[in-house]
Each structure stands twice: as C-alpha cells, then as structure tokens.
Structure 1
Amino acid sequence: MALLARPGQARERLRQALEAAGARIVLEEDPCALDPAALQAAAPQAVLVALEPAVEDALEKLDPVLQAPGVLAIFDEADLAARREGWEAQRWIRHLAAKLNGHDDVLPPGHEADLVLDVRPPPLLRDEPVVDAAPFAPHLAEAALHAGRLPSDTLPGRRQDEGLPPPSEWSLVDPVEASGGPRSVAPPPLPDFSHLELVPVEEPGASVAGAVLVIAGIGGPDALRKLLAEMTPGFRRPVLVQLRLDGGRYDNLVKQMARVSVLPVAMAMPGDAVAAGTVYVLPDGVGLEMRGGVLRFADVDAAHEPLAVLPPAESAVVVLSGALPARMDAALALAMRGGLALGQALEGCYDANAVKLLAAGGGELGTPAELATRLAERWG
C-alpha cells in the first residue's frame, strides 16, 4: 500500500486502519510534495488517498500512476477520516480489508451470516392513476343544504310577474345615438405581421429521450472513475450519478470525476434541463422530473425518484459498490419495462449487497470497463 495524505490526524487514522487491515505500507507521503516517479518506483498494489481541497491539483500529476493497470486506487475524505472512531472506524477497517483482499465479508467476528435473497420479481408499476374511493354522500347532502340560497336568474328585487320579460327572451340591440339612428363603429385596424417569421425554439434537454442512472455509495468512487474513463466520447445519453457521501462534498466529486471522464461533468441544479452527453452529479436533495416532455432536475421528494421518472425503454440503471439495497426493486422494475439494469462485478466490489440483489433479479454484471462497453452497444 501507498498512503497519500497530508500530515495530521487524518493521516494517523488512515495509517492505523491500514495496519489493522493487514496492509504493508511501502510509501507514506504528502501528495503535494510527491513526485510521480517516486510513487511509481514504490510499485504499490493499492494507493489510499486522503482527499481535501489542498491536494486536488497535486492529484492531477499523479493520475497516470493511479490509473495504471494493476493499481487499486481508494479515496477517502480527509475530514471524515480524522473524525472516524469507535464502531464506525472498525466498520471502515472491515470494508477496507475486504476490498484489499478481494472478498465481501464485512461482518464482525461471530456475526457471519449468509445474505438472504428474495428472488421474487418486483410488482409491475401501474401507469393508471389511483382513484380515491371516498364516499360522495356527504358532499351531495351539503349541496342540497345550500341549494335554496343560490341566486336566481332574475334581476335583484324584481319578480317575473311584475312585467319583466323572462331572461330567455332578452336580446342584444345596437346602441342608439341621441339622434335616434344606429351608431356606426369602425373596426380597429389589424396589426401588420408581414415582417414576422416563425423560428423553431429548441430548449436544452428537449431532445433527451432517457438517461443512465448510476447508483453507488461506499467504495463507489473507484468504480465510477473507471466507468467514466471508459465511456465512449460520442455517447449521447446523459449520465446521472447518485453517490452517497457522508461529508456531502459533491463539489469535490465533480472535480475528481472531471479529471478522468471523457464526457463533461457538472453539478445537477434544480430547474435545469438535462442535456445529452453530460455527466451530472446529483447532490442530496436533488431529484428528477418530467415537465412538458423535458427531463429537469428538481427539489427531491417521493415523486422525483429518478427510477420512477425516467422513460424505461430509453434508460439504464448502473449499480455500483455501496448502493442501497432498498432501491433494487425499483431498478428491476425499470428493467422489466424495457430498461437496462447493469451491476458491478462482485470481484473487487467493496459493498456488494445491492449488486447481489440486482443479479438475483436478472441484472447483468461486469467490470466498470465492461459496463461502459455494454452502454455503448445500446446507445453508442
């Protein structure tokens, strides 16, 4: 292992975690002062990087080594590493050991248990609206109570038996001037539209038929980097990334992915239309909606779950390490309606609980490079 972190509490905690996970540290250095040749000469099998704004620029020059074949790159937020202790620290060490040793056993000693999979297909989604079956009798009774007080169609204070013609016999007459003759009113001139012409209006995102939704969590940044690095440059589907970060530093995630992605990377903002050929990072609180036939980002609520909003036949879901297992029913439902459901291969997957559920329901698994190839075959 190589440990790249600035001196401080985060570096101390990460060194302790590596030692507890059974790793042998061949290089420990501040990435801001490290020469790429020195990192390459150490020949690490894996590199653990503590991310913080001060090291962003330094990582760019180290990227060729971090992306080299046979090198496993693991990223952790420095501020989280400095605060992680107790049960949370032990849990992170178990996940780290599982990733380094290529297995998925992350349970504490004495709690080993097989994952129970429910392989029943999820229920089909209903397209028709749900009708409220509340009784109408109370509303009818209230209408009858107020019917007597409704206004009639006669003039106020007059009855039809006082000589006023019934309303159905009223008619409109031309206005009469004081001279007694009808008044002639000239129509206003029509505006001249001869110099105007119609032009097509194309709003950004209007041509987007669907999208690729990437779901990930702990261990997901590594797989996401490899997936985006292998995407086809001409890929036209937008890629929406929902990756849970404990510290919520999604701006850092955008910068990290922009360095390796062949597609432009941007932060999703509520109200913006989704554009083709762009990778969007969705922070907490941002979902998706279809408005006027255009996919837009929106403030999240139950109605803005992307898996329920995306057009199934034109969309795909990619499940990476750390995704929430609770979302797999919706992912498989999208696949049953014509969508594409892909998952990270179990080998090298840091937290594979959701991936296993996806595979049990018929989802395809593969390495990040293989997943990128599969997407290109579908929408290259």
Structure 2
Amino acid sequence: MNNAARRVALLARPGVARDRMREALDQAGANIVLEADPATTDQDAVLAAQPEAALIVLDATTDEALDRFEGVLSNPQIEVFFEEAELAAGRVGWDAARWVRHLRAKLLHSDNVLPPGGESVAPPGVAPPTPAPLEPVPAVMAKLELSLADIDDGAPVDTGSDLELVTIELGDEAPRYAREHSAESLPPLAGLELEAMGGTDEAPAGGNPFAISIEGLELESDHPADTSRFQDDMADLHSRIAEMELVEDRTVATMRGAVLILAGIGGPDAVRQLLGALPEGFPRAVLVQQRLDGGHYDKLVAQMQRATTLPVKLATSGDTLQGATVYILPPTLGVQAKDRALAFNDSPAELLASLPANDSAVLMLSGSDPAQVDAVMKLAGAGALIAGQALDGCYDVAAPAALAARGGQAGKPQDLARRLAERWH
C-alpha cells in the first residue's frame, strides 16, 4: 500500500463492478482506505477513514442509500467521483485501460490521459509548449471598392470577395437606396475605399479629394411641371396618412432560449462539475441530455441535484420550460415554441432546430453524439453560443474534437459554466 498516494474510499455493492473498480484504483496508484457497501455502512465509518476522495459505484440500491451520506457528499475535503455499475462491470481490455488513465488523472488533478510513452517530452530545462487556445473561425470580411463615377453612371458595384460575387445595380435608384440603407443599418465593411474619377490624380489644395464647389451656380425658379408633381405627391401622402390606423406601441418579447448540455460515456462527472459551477438563480433553463445505457433518468435527477443549487427535474412532455431550473431530458423528448415560450414535446428530432438560436447555448461534453455536430454548427451560425469540453481530461473526445475542428470553442466544465454566466449575467 502506498501511503503517499491519495486516500480513497470505495463505496460499492459486492460484485463484478466493485471488483473492477478496486482493480482500477490499484492500477491508478490509489490508497484504498475503506471498501464498503453503502447499504450496510454509514457516513461515520467513511469519515473515520479520513479519505481524500470517494468513488461511489451507482446502482438502484446505492442511489437510495446515498441520502445517508450527505455529510460525505457535501464535505469540501472529500472529492467525490461517481461511476455506473453497469458500465464498470462491462468495461474490459483497451476501454478499461483508458478508464484507468482517466481515473489516475482525476486523482492526481492532471490533464495527462495518454498511455505510457505517449507524452510529449521536452528537452531538459525547456518547458513543453502550451497549445494555443481554440478560437472561433473568423468571419470573412469583404473589401468594397466603390467608385463615385460608377454610381453616377449606374454601373455595377463588385464586392471583390473571393468567395462570392455580388452585383448591385444602383442607377437612378441610388438616392432612394441611400435613404433606406443608412450607415447604421449596413454591416461593417473592412477597407472601404472611395475613388474619385475626375480626370486628375491630384487632390485639391485643401487636401480633400471630394470637395464640392458651388461657385458660379445660379438658382433657377421651379418649373411649373415640377410644382404640379410636388403638389400631387403631397396630396398622395396626405391620403396615405389619412388611411393609416394608430396602433398602441408595444414591444414583442423575444422568446427565451435554453442551455442544452449533450453528454454520454464519461460525461456524468463533467455535467456535475458544470452544474456545480453555475451560479444560483441562473436565468435560463438548462437541459441535460445524458445518454445512459440503463435509461434510469429518474435516478439521474437525484444524482445531479446533489451537484447544484438549482432545482433539478425530470422533463415531462407538455411542461413549459422555466428559468433557473435544470431538466434531465430523456432522448424521447424535444421542445417546441408555445405561447412565446418553450415547452417539452414528443418530437426529439426537432430538439436542436427548435431552440431560439439568438438566446440559446449548446455544450458538447464527453460521449456526446458526433452526428449532431452539423446541427450544432448551424445553430452557431444563427447566433447560438456553442462550445465543447476541452480534450484534456475528456474521456470520449469524438464529438468535442469534431466541434473544435469546425471552429468551436472548448473549455473545462467549470470554464464553460463561467462563459454561460457571463452570457446571461
């Protein structure tokens, strides 16, 4: 027994899952100070062993017994890890070895989950390079070169973008276009250049190449036809105003969105860390779609409630989503707009497409489905906040890695919670 290793209490019912977890802890270099069945022991026995960490193997019986261990679960000196009994019993070979590496990393608070010999070795005295943080793919900014002579002659204007050729015919409609598309309504343009076409390349003495001189101009009296047309236009305007109805000013409320957390194998710990880092009263509904082999989503409610101060509920078809609430979302449910709000329904395929992108976020954690990356990226293009779990410490990296490759941001669960809090502060 290595007394210098971290002291760990293993709480699990006797059986294959407990045997596998004992072997995993031994291989991870842990010092097992207590091995007990949660159904026949109590928290005083656990606290007396003075563990630095507790590994709890969950099944239906253990879930019911955990209420008696509140003093262990809430003790800041004890780091708690959970594992599903079915997963622990079925994990063998390469998958078991990988889980041991992740367990060792958690116990040692290390980001290294590579097999022996897979670590990058730096020369003596030289620190290993720090990978650059992932940033979103920058938007392409087109350079617009606009010629005054082109506007006067009604010639087409070319954006000069390498991706798409856009031609705008202004002609006689230039004044109206300028009125309807003020500078405030136009998107920012990088490198806007105006080129004066006047037969000389030299600027006037004042230094302004666009100076307009009115010297020598004379005012001419209105032409009778112009006056008549003006009067007709004014009469038409008065007629249109007379037909208008006054409507009470009102602001149409933007439908509130939600935070969707997608996770699977290796995800429960990441979800707990993320929920635990969310501030009390977080204003948006948080949907947790955690893929479980056994499908015991009602048990997941109790587990997640221990990790967060927010209320945790099991989503039910027809219920309206409430802010500052965590919902465990079974894969058989989706959401839909209902009375300017979101409500759960029985159409899971519409889940991502039904989220209001401008007020929603999607986080892809360990074990989430890579097939959903395209739909998540579509939401990002419409304004949603998207991010994946950082690959260091992530057990199943397929979806987070695919999201990062497409330009998505990444972070540890606590960092993702901080970004959510900043978004809806």
Instruction: State whether TM-score is above 0.5.
Output: yes
Q: Which amino acid aligns with 1:26?
A: V
What is the CA–CA distance in structure 2 between the aligned matches of 1:226 and 1:80, rounded to whole Å? 20
The aligned residue for residue 322 of structure 1 is: 367
1:337 to 382, 398, 410: 382
Q: Distance in 2 between matches of 1:258 and 1:338?
A: 30
Contact 2:335-2:343 at 8 Å conserved across structures? yes
CA RMSD in angstroms, aligned pairs only: 3.5
TM-score (norm 2): 0.58
Give 1:231's aligned residue. 278
Report the alpha carbon displacement of residue 44 of structure 1 after superposing the two structures with TM.
4.8
Q: How far apart in 1 are the matches of 2:115 and 2:78?
A: 26
**SS of match in other structure, 1:271:** coil
Deviations 1:71-126 (A, max 9, x none): 653322234544x2656xx524422423423567689999xxxxxxxx998xxxxx
Partner of 1:288: 335
C-alpha spacing 1:40/1:93, structure 2 compared with 1 (3 Å): farther
Q: Secondary structure at the match of 1:317?
A: strand
Aligned residue in 2 for 1:212 = 259
Partner of 1:29: 36
* 1:1-380 equivalences in 2 (<5 Å): 1-19=8-26, 23-36=30-43, 38-40=45-47, 42=49, 44=51, 46-63=53-70, 65-66=72-73, 73-82=80-89, 84=90, 90-101=94-105, 102=110, 209-302=256-349, 304=350, 306-380=351-425
Q: Within 1, Cα distance between the matches of 2:77 and 2:378?
A: 36
* In 1, Cα distance between equivalents of 2:376 and 2:78: 31
3-state SS in 2 of match to 1:31:
coil
Q: How many percent of aligned residue pairs carry the same amino acid?
A: 48
- Looking at structure 1, the residues matched to 117 and 296 of structure 2 have their Cα atoms a distance apart, in angstroms, of 33
SS in 1 for 2:284: coil
Go from structure 1 to structure 2 and tell me whether the alpha carbon gap of 1:38 and 1:342 turns closer, same or farther (over 3 Å shift): farther
Higher relative contact order (CA 8 A, sep 6+): 1
How far apart in 1 are the matches of 2:294 and 2:277? 27
Q: What are the superposed Cα offsets for residues 275-319 of structure 1, whole Å, 9 maximum, x if unpaired?
A: 2221111113112222454322122353x1x22110111000122
Distance in 2 between residues matched to 1:225 and 1:5, nearest whole Å: 20
Match of 1:190 in 2: none
1:17-46 deviation digits (Å, cap 9, x = unpaired): 444566553321122444545545655554
The runs of 5 or more residues in structure 2 that have no matched partner are: 1-7, 119-134, 138-252
1:4 CA drift (Å): 0.9
Distance 1:268-1:313 versus aligned 2 partners, 3 A rule: same
- Secondary structure of 2:306's counterpart equals helix
TM-score, normalised via structure 1 length: 0.64
1:50 partner SS: strand
Aligned residues: 287
Q: Which residue of 1 aligns with 2:158?
A: none
CA contact (8 A) 1:80 1:247 kept: no
Letter aligned with residue 259 of structure 1? R
Change in CA separation of 1:64 and 1:96 when aligned onto 2, cut-off 3 Å: farther
